[in-house]
Every structure is written in structure tokens, then in C-alpha cells.
Amino acid sequence: MAEASDENSAEFQRGWDAAILAARDWHEGKAKQVLVQARRSRFPKTLEREAEVHKHSAEMMMTLSPSDV
């Protein structure tokens, strides 16, 4: 029975890592997109702040663990 539990937790960990990586990539992409919009905007400060939030979120993704949820 211990082996089945180990397989489930290994599978869960792979899924967790994939989900965190996908979320991090999404935040990084969104930050880049918003920075491009900021360059074209008449009011770039708000967009620059939004990009900083996305960058910070991408950095924080790697610190999350399943016990945080």
C-alpha cells in the first residue's frame, strides 16, 4: 500500500510543478504584454505598476507549496 501512496504523491507533485510553472509563465508573459502597452500609452504609470505586480507574482509562484493552498 505504501507504494501506491508514493506513486500518487509523485504524480501529484509532477502535476503541482506543471501547474506552478504554467502560472509563472502566464504572469511573466502578462508582464511583458503590459510593458509593451505601457510604452504605447499616454498614461504608462498604471500599466507599469500592473507589470510589476505580474513580475512579483511570477517570482512568488516558485515559493508556493501544496500546503499553502
- Give me the mean pLDDT over the 4-12 stretch: 76
Provide the pLDDT for residue 1.
43
For residue range 9-57, what is the model confidence (pLDDT) as tens digits? 889 999 999 999 999 999 999 999 999 999 999 889 999 999 999 999 9
Can you say how many angstroms the Cα of residue 8 is from the centroid of all Cα atoms in its chain? 24
How far is the C-alpha of 20 from the C-alpha of 68, rounded, in Å? 13
Model confidence, pTM: 0.79
How far is the C-alpha of 49 from the C-alpha of 65, rounded, in Å? 27
Q: What is the total residue count of the chain?
A: 69
| Confidence band for 4, pLDDT divided at 50, 70 and 90 | low
How far is the C-alpha of 12 from the C-alpha of 53, rounded, in Å? 28
